[in-house]
Structure 1
């Protein structure tokens, strides 16, 4: 069972857009894409890893958004390190660090 899926609307590479982005005229925001999180799987993983479902959902959401921004832990070792660093900084900011 999959925990989270990301469906990007644009191509990014480590946070840098690789194409022109459409901003919402009312907000100036950019729709990055869609994500689907399986809460049942997140709860199972939280129990396995010994932390709260909130922390696991926070991690999976952060992980997914980073994928939408073109970060990829499967590309090479440097990109893995960069993505993990971004995940940890984001989770600490949200108060969900280990």
Structure 2
């Protein structure tokens, strides 16, 4: 992708190396490109633990439990709809797509539960969150969920991350 995105990845848990942060950025850039985001944008990422994501979930969504990933989109989009250039922050020139919060404890537990690597689980959660930032949802068990799952698998395949390969 020719244009640069600003993707700060912060962590308040140990074990999130610069290589892991670079991997998260790569996954985000790949997902954005796959969804046609060809304008400079910003996605903020926090890697935390179950206790902190539980608190964020409670504070922001009034849900009293930990979870694997939370997405806070800046815009109310539908799949395939993208923000406009005029949505860019005048100070940075970047379109702020939103924030994602990922529980590293959930990454490692779910990777073990599903029998694949932490890398694959992390990539899945990052792609999942990017799609939420771009208007995808899965609250129903019907077409929306199937559409989101299809996009997730396509983007992971583009990254060379498949269920069979992990």
Q: TM-score, normalised by structure 2?
A: 0.53
> How many pairs align?
98
Q: Tell me how far apart the structure 2 counterparts of residues 27 and 96 of structure 1 sit (CA, whole Å).
A: 33
Equivalent residue, structure 2, for 1:13: 78
| Equivalent in the alignment of 1:96 | 161
Gap regions ≥5 residues in structure 1: none
Higher-Rg member (1/2): 2
The structure-2 alpha-carbon separation of the partners of 1:28 and 1:92, relative to structure 1 and needing over 3 Å to count, comes to farther
In the alignment, what sits opposite 2:142?
A: 77
Cα RMSD (Å) of the superposition?
Answer: 2.3
Aligned counterparts of 1:91 and 1:7: Cα–Cα separation in 2:
21
**What's the counterpart of residue 57 of structure 1?**
122
Moved over 6 A (4+): none
Q: CA deviation at 1:20?
A: 7.5
The answer to which structure, 1 or 2, has the higher relative contact order (CA under 8 A, 6+ apart) is 1
Matched, 1:38 2:103: yes
